[in-house]
Amino acid sequence: MTQSVKNYRLTPTTINVIDPLGLFGDGRSYRPKPNPNAPLGHSDFTGYDKFDYTAEDHDRRTSPTNPFLGNPGAHFQDLKTSLAECRAYIETCDPGGGARAMHRMQDYYSHYVKDYRWEPGKGNLGHLFAGTGPDNDQDAWKQAEAKTKELLAEWNANNVQYINSFTDMPQLRKYFK
């Protein structure tokens, strides 16, 4: 029997158990159901209380689990591209876009650094055949956490003047220290 991508199907209940296409996973702090036994993931990065780093995986338009409707390639991009996206959202004070760009930057450490790519035309399908090992790499998570903290510091430094100019926008205050 020939294997193909069509032989692999993930459902909303299995995405936190196995993700052969490549996510850090939701992590221990994921809302609405935290799981203290889960490997560290996107919900455990600094700033998750302000930025939903898991939205990129749960939105069918950007999810890596559906190569036909989602956007698996974005989860396997190089650091230069990821950082440029993060900084563009920092400059425009866009917390939603910033959280998604941060997610892709976080994925860099568990995917791109390890030579996993999403290039179906070349037969590169992320870490589809490598199992969940690349996602459960705590050293990669720590590297991504360090870069997340660095970018959050940039966010706060760049956007504190912006938010202070709007006294009638308390809903945005949660995104700043």
Q: What is the DSSP string of the chain?
A: ----GGG----TTTTTT--TTT---S-SS-SSS--TTSPP-GGGSTTTTTS-TTHHHHSTTT-TT-TTTS-GGGGG--HHHHHHHHHHHHHTT-HHHHHHHHHHHHHHHHTGGGT--EEGGGTEETTTTTTTTTTT-HHHHHHHHHHHHHHHHHHHHHHHHHHHT-TT-GGGGGG--
Evaluate whether residue 4 is within a structural domain: no
pLDDT, position 7: 36
How confident is the model at residue 174, as a pLDDT?
58
Number of domains in the chain: 1
In a domain, 141, yes or no: yes
- Quote the pLDDT of residue 141: 94
Which pLDDT score is estimated for 38? 85
Cis peptide bond upstream of 20, omega within 30: no
> What span, in angstroms and rounded, lies between the C-alpha atoms of 10 and 12?
7
At residue 3, the pLDDT reads 41
Report yes or no on whether pTM surpasses 0.85: no
The stretches in the chain having pLDDT less than 50 are 1-22, 167
9: left (phi over 0), alpha (psi -120 to 50) or beta: beta
Tokens at 13, concatenated: 């209940």
Sequence-ordered list of residues with C-beta below 8 angstroms from that of 56, at least 6 positions apart, any chain: 62, 63, 74, 75, 99, 100, 103, 104
C-alpha to C-alpha distance for 115 and 118, rounded to whole angstroms: 10
The pLDDT of residue 101: 95
- For residue 161, the model assigns a pLDDT of 62
Establish if 48 belongs to a structural domain.
Answer: yes
Answer whether residue 11 is part of any domain.
Answer: no
- pLDDT for position 89: 93
Q: Would residue 12 count as lying in a domain?
A: no
58 within a domain of the structure (yes/no): yes
- Give the pLDDT of residue 45: 94
pLDDT at 30: 85
- Domain holding 79, by residue range, is 18-175
